[in-house]
Structure 1
Amino acid sequence: MFSTLLTSLPILFLGVFSYTIASKGIQEKVDEGNLQNLLQTQMRVEQLLKTLEYVVMQYVSSPIVNNALYKSLTTATHFKEINDLSQGLHNLHFFIGVQDASLINVRENWYIGKNGFGNNLKELADYESLERYTSMRNNLVWMPDPTSSPEMGTLNLICKVPLLNFSVETSALLILKIKKSDLNRQFLAQNELGNLFVLDRSPQAVLGDPNIGELSVEVQNRITEMIESLQSRNGHFPMDWEGRDVWIHFIQSPQHGWTYLAVQDAKKSTMEARQIGIFTLASCAALFLLFGAAALYGSHWMYSPIRGFVQFMRSDLGNKDEGDVKDDFADLAQRIRHLMNSGLQMQDQLTFYAVQLRDSFVQRLLAGKITKSRLLEHLSATGFPVAWKRLIVFVVQIDTLKNTRYQERDNDLLLFAIGNIVGDLVEPMKRFQPVSMDNSQVTILASEFETDEECSRWALSIAEDIRIKIAEFLSLKVSIGVSRSYVDLVDVSGAYQEGLEALKYRFQLGSEMILHINDIQLNRNKETVYPKQLERDIVDAVKLGHPERISTCLEVYLLHAIQSNIHIQEFQFMLMQLIGSLTELLYGSGLSAEKVLGDKQVAHHLLQGKSLIEWKRWLLDEIAMPIANHLRDERESHNNRITEDLIRIIEREFESNLTLEDCSARLNFHPVYVSRVFKKETGLTFSDFLAQHRLRIAKKWLVETDMTILEIATRLNYANSTPFIRYFSKATGVTPGKYRKDHMQL
């Protein structure tokens, strides 16, 4: 008993200490746990959505779909095509929650879906929504069924076909419907840290924990208002949820504009602290009951492997209660069959991940992150060519999206389309996987030619075919940089840099160019002279704030750089010098370059390769004009301050002998400059403004005081009353005496 007591005292002390520390930090751990749980849920949900988007894009981009877009299909004459289209739609059902996948040709008035083929779109349940779907701005959109709740109904993926059709007319739609109940069970149900919901931009509950019920409109609006007031993409806040206190944890996702919510009962942290205290007391009591419970623990331990396996299968593969199971072995057999079916679904997912693995391998190879010792192992695993004589890299970049039907947000989609064009033109065994890196589309070619000259000619012919096809299908202007050829695969990272380096010379050679690194010939013997006078012309134009003159001077400056046939690095140094001179204008006016230019990422832009037009547009819109506009605003503000100070002096000291020279000296400016600024701001000279102000004071004194005309003239700094009367009569048309008489009668 005594030894048991000695053993329990340290444990009791440690428990009290742990309870004290844990009770203070329990809320922080709960908050952190909820945010981590939310982040995991977000990643899992969005990974599934990305997977479905990728599979749908692959399907609608396939030749089977594209060939059927402009055909009026019938079961009598196009049975094979309808069967192939149906098989492709059927493959989409292997993913979690997919209830239906339908291909609807609004142009030719036919559809294919779960219920088969039809030639009348009015038979569709979604017929009323087709016009709204085809008029959507984006080509790929997730939206919930408008008649569904967060727990029931479907979440729909609407894909306009053709995928890259940016015109008003849409040929077809692919509608993928996912059961919300399956998504809720997979991602949101059985959460120990709280109940989870997903809201869209509306805000409308897209998904929700089936254990807590539907969110009311009032609760959704209150949650949205609180999130907007926090002005943060993640965080937490307290809230009264239908009579009970809760904590709301949220993460706003930029991918679809959805908000992920976790609802945590406010009493949970206190409950967990009490549980810690109870656990401490129970641990001490357990020491006294240890020997009595030894036999019970032994029997429990012997049965634990079987019970653990049964509980594992029930908890991971279903929600069936133990009371509903009559035969544990039959239940296990059923769950094992379910596990095998899940394996087939996982195999389809692994096929998708294999494509991503090939992309990742090529990207790491181009970045020089794969060692030579592991290359052969990776090549055999990814299925890339293993027999070649020379390797060469070409890099495709879009020259400009200006004056095209595309926008900057379409850049990733366009690079994906360019990669598909490259994949169609080059045989799989003569290339590696085309990948997108740093706003470029990069492809490694595996050549059978032994000499560098033959390999380069072959690569240039392929590059020309690719450029023509991109212009034909996408109506885009692209340039292609081609590297030297290499024998060893580890050298492709350097070849990738050569392709980028070649593209940088577009500023001299123009757009729609195919540039081989060996063809970049520069006159190194010619001495480069920095165009100081042209720089001064640009600086003067910025000072004056003339947009047309600034544009003209920039064009002359860039043309001089091209005609000088300088190296790209010297060109970048020239631009740095010019930008430095322009920013000196800001410092000379007391302005901050960071305040004016903001986060322009000047260094990042200087290191990129651009055409002459792109360089001019960037320098004009992002550097020169913002500086010119701020200098103009600063001048106007400065002139306003001078005018206001001079007016205050006149209004305060109009009775004294004020002169422009005295006032200018007090303002620390030259009289000529002050006179020009004052005339520009008020439209009057200094003397005219002073005389008019004294006239207003004289009128006021004539009506409101008993001062004589001589006294008023003296106070207004006239030598006698005669010049005062003459000026007053000329300005008002009456003498001061008559003015007083007329206004006193009123």
Structure 2
Amino acid sequence: MRTKTDSKFAFNALFVKLMLSFLGVILLLASFNLFSHIYLSKKVYQEMVRQNELGLQQTALSYENHFRLTQNIILALNQSAKWTANLGLLSHIGENRRYDVVSEVKSDLVTIYSNPFLHIENFILYFKEADYVLEKDGTSRMNDMFSKYYASKEYPPEYWRQQTMDKQYMKILPAADFTETTMNSMRPLGSLLPLVVEVLPYKEVYGIVMLNARELQTAYGDGSSNPFYILDSNGDTLFSTSIDHTPPGAVSGNGSYHKQVGDQYYFYQKGGHTGFTYVRVTPAAAITSGMRQMQLLLAALLTAAVLASILCSLFFSFRLNQPLQRLIAALERKSGAGAGKLSSVKEFAIIGDRMSRILETNQFIQTDLEHKNSLVRQYAYSHKVKNIPLNPNLLDLEDTQAEDQPYAAVLFKLSFKQPSQSPEKDTLMLWQLIQRLFLGNEGDMVAVQPEQNQLLLLLFRCGPQSGILQTLQTLKELLEEEPALYLTIAVSPVYSGETPITDAYGSLSSLLKERRLNKETQIIVEPRASSARSFHVKVTHGEELSNLLLSGNEEAVLGWLDRQLEQLNQKDAAAEDFRAFAAGAVEQAGKTVMKLGLREDVLIQPVLKENFENFYSTGQYRAWLHALVRPILADMRTKSETKDPVLAYVLDYLDKHYGENINLNLVADKLNLSPGYLSTFFKEKQGINFSDYLNNLRIGHAKELLMNLDLRIQEIALQVGYLNVNSFIRMFKRASGLTPGEYRKSHASGTPVSGDGPE
């Protein structure tokens, strides 16, 4: 039976070990790739942040350079004496009427805003005292300029009138949307970033440079749609590409950094020249999208690599494990088949060939060993049943007996209805049939043959008795149509392992005697009550049959025998009771033969046990008993017709004086005959020697006296003519096969004893 540890997928199986080893390597490589992925993800994140920071640094540097360049250009103009003089004239143009200077100043302005890289929309000179402005298109009143031509709600004309530099040379104002209004239309000028400078040495003259904020962003930005801010030193917004976001604030000190607020990354860069803070807002998704794509790609590659590795591991593990599994299957296979071809690998093929030979040899050895073990068990149990001690060299056979296990015993006795031509063959076939019927049951079985016509089955772990009886009923049905034989089956209860097998066998042997007189197979489980138990004792010890025989009335003798058989039949007597009755009748007939001095050959031969063993009907006993007494009665009639007076005297004298110390010489003297003549005469008439007749007569009377339990054996010996008790015991055993004590004990227990020798 295969256990859990024998399973192909047990933890300690080779296949599992190989798979775990491969999976360990795969896990190690996958862990390395995972850690590499995490490390690279961090690196990618840092690189993307660094790229955003570098981009913002470049943007901030470009803006700072642009503001510095614009400032330097205006400073260069302020250092021009002609420029300074012309501005002085224009400051008081209402007084000096020098309108010719306007064209010269305009030409200087053209050189500035005509440069496309400066992204200057207009350069406006605001003469605060004169309250007019000069720009690329000429002069105009300040109020018209900032309410019509460069109108903005953030910068109305009043704002410019109140504008002061506060000791600053250059000031950049927040960007705003400007429009140009004409007679019939209004044209947007876009978002302009005003840059105000003080035109030295005139404190009431300001230069207002209108920088195109969108062009600056296009030129210096990263080209993305991400929000961009320029904050002044106070954190106020100077320029923004988005109206939906307001940055958290400016940074303090120089340098750059970034932080995440919600789902946005804010990158800050401090300008070194202006002190402005440049802010770029990048959505977290913009940074993580690239990382996510890379992560998905790496995860897909890692998953594919792991799956491919697992499939390869399964394939190689299976290829390595399959030959060994075939080898294990061959080892566990109950048939004699070999391991077969394990694999195309040379080493496995050699192992398979060698294992095939080993398995064939092992199968032969196992079969032979099982057969010998069966014989050993039968040998051990046979000795156990018969209570025969084992040879000291074979005491280890006791281990083959499962006496600690519950068991049941079934004893079969075979009887033939008619003589069989091959009784040994028929008996063997029947025993084999019985064993096959019980081999299908659960548990273990041992078959022992204690006698030639008996079979004892010991059934271990057999279950309840009802299952055994069901199998026996099947056997009985099979034997119903068998004309030549029948079985007597004794069944024990289920014993515990403590009950000795010899006791079980003794109980079953007693149950066999419960068989009733018929020719059917009988199953006996327990003894049945019967009133015929002591019937044969009365016949054996009584004188009724002997008296009838002495009368010589054949009709009376046969009628009495028939009546006794009928009474046994009516009392539901066992077959053993019929045999005991017949044995008692034989004993009484033998006494009569001895008493009358008849020829002993008139008794039926051979031994009674062989005659009665296969009797199964009252008619068989009737015919046999009739055949027993008829020769005796016939011999009595013949002898009475030819009775000799000398012989009659001798027989009568011996019958009356057998208890005295008599011998052949004493009787011959009484008849005035020589001892030799009397011995020859007696032998010729009786067919038996004088001394043998006298001993048989004395033993017959001794048997009757032994029934009296108050008499000692020594007293009985003296009463029947034996002065030496040892001689009495020796003669009694030679005549009856038993010692006087054994004879008395057997008759006290109701067991019949034959006077013709040991049974």
Q: What TM-score, normalized to structure 1?
A: 0.31
**Higher helix proportion (structure 1 or 2):** 1
Q: TM (normalized to structure 2)?
A: 0.30
Computing the radius of gyration from Cα coordinates, the structure with the larger value is 2
